[in-house]
Amino acid sequence: MLNFDNTYNKLPSQFFKKSKAASSLNPQLVAWNDNLFQTLSASNKNLPLKDILSYFSGQSLIPGSEPVATVYAGHQFGHFNPQLGDGRALLLGEVLANDHRRYDLQLKGSGPTFYSRGGDGLSPLGPVLREYLVSEAMFYMGVPTTRSLCAVTTGQTVYREQPLPGAILTRVASSHIRVGSFEFFAAQGDVDNLQTLADYTIKRHFPENKKSNELLYWQLFLAIAQLQIQLVPKWLGLGFIHGVMNTDNTSICGETIDYGPCAFMDSYKSNQVFSFIDQQGRYAYNQQLNIVLWNLSCLANALFPLFLTECGHKAECIKKLESQFEVFSAQLEQEYLQVMCQKMGIFKAQPQDKKIVDEFLLILEKENQDFTNSFRELSYGKVKEADFEKKWLNRLGQQQESLEESKKLMQSCNPYLIPRNHLIQKSIEQSLAGDYTFFHLLNQAWQKPYEQNLKYKDLSLPPEKHEEIKNTFCGT
């Protein structure tokens, strides 16, 4: 079964509220990730269906679990909310897994908690299916992400714009500590609990920092920042738009978390927005690197009282941060350039390569070309612009690696399949009608995204005009 060791519950009571799931009426299994369960499980035994339904619908407690709703704050679209928290989620506990790592298990859509702010805490089936599909696809594309263990329908009706079937997702994460977790205690001026959270985070996620015993909180900040700097350029390389990069949706573990109105671009558009609520384009495709810096500035502001205990001088701390953010900015640009260059067969990005990357993207945007397929076709040597082809081949010729090696590199980082919006929508619509066949087909196909399998050729095609998805919705 699962080996729970719930260290977060040992933190002070201000960090969470004990809670329990609403009772599901008639849970039915939609999806079960047995490979993930075997990684988490303390044994290699299969879990009976009746236990899956009971445990992951919230009908009964998994032995060893201690459900709580965690508190956090957050900057939402630039505006600070001093108290948010798990309004429709329950942290079941922490599992010590077979790979010797610790994972959080969380139910999403399991009913109201102390932090629901008047909401019902439930989830319709659609958002559960979207997160299950996209989070698992991201994992197989090699992007750090939360994962999906189980999806069940509850037998209850959830009322939004219309009555919808209710569902619960079981999410697996390295942890659910967010930038907003630090902001909560900082906003209250509660330095003691801010330090408690920082010490806990260091011990659980960055134990190597403890060994230096120098500037612990500064090193914590740098470690969290590096994970974000490595993560978000990977999104851009896949044409992924998170849609809600609020600080309460920013994991300190560097995992993609909270798949709401997320989407992958079809035709390339540098300022593409899908989220219906992002009317100003704050979280557009080409703004995501800037938002990394903005969110890190929020984290720095929250941790500032702890920096002062190590630094001692406010002016010196501010000067140090200003200098560090210049470094972060340069690192983000370099990481992004490296991701994009590898997509074009360039093994080691040079500053001048930005010009050739930008030129290719400009061609895609001017000609309304599909982002994913255009890069994939480039890996086969298919180039529509003769002038660009000459420049590109000349750049590849400057490397020690052969053209064939460059093409192999490109095919390893340019997916053949991505979770296209119209395919997700089709799977949701069919699932709402009671047919999960297409949902399971997508989940299977997206486990090998870089393999050109003609069996799935239809899944690699851009949407027809009538299939295009203009807006995505959070679904809460």
Active site residues: 248
Conformation bin of residue 36: beta by default, left when phi > 0, alpha when psi is -120 to 50? alpha
| Contact of 133 with 446, CB cutoff 8 Å | yes
- Quick one: tokens of 336? 């992004």
Scan for tokens 């849970």, then name that residue.
27
Q: How far apart are CA 217 and CA 306, in angstroms?
A: 6
Surface-to-core class of residue 424, CB atoms within 10 Å of its CB (0-12 exposed, 13-18 middle, 19+ buried): buried
Question: Letter for the amino acid at 323?
Answer: S
Question: Who's near 207: CB < 8 A, 6+ residues apart?
Answer: none
In the chain, DSSP finds a helix count (H) and a strand count (E) of: 15, 12
Q: How far apart are CA 343 and CA 352, in angstroms?
A: 16
Q: How far apart are CA 277 and CA 27, in angstroms?
A: 32
| Contact of 381 with 352, CB cutoff 8 Å | no
Q: At what angle do helices 353-366 and 386-396 cross, to 10 degrees?
A: 150
Q: Which residue blocks in 312-414 are alpha helix, DSSP H?
A: 314-343, 353-366, 371-379, 386-396, 403-413
Q: Which residue blocks in 174-287 are alpha helix, DSSP H?
A: 179-187, 191-205, 207-212, 216-237
Scan for tokens 């960090």, then name that residue.
15
Q: How many CA atoms lie within 13 A of 250 on its CB side?
A: 30
- Quick one: tokens of 178? 């967010």
Q: How far apart are CA 411 and CA 424, in angstroms?
A: 24
Question: Who's near 163: CB < 8 A, 6+ residues apart?
Answer: 157
Calculated CA dihedral for residues 91, 93, 97, 99, nearest 10 degrees? 50
Q: How far apart are CA 378 and CA 228, in angstroms?
A: 29
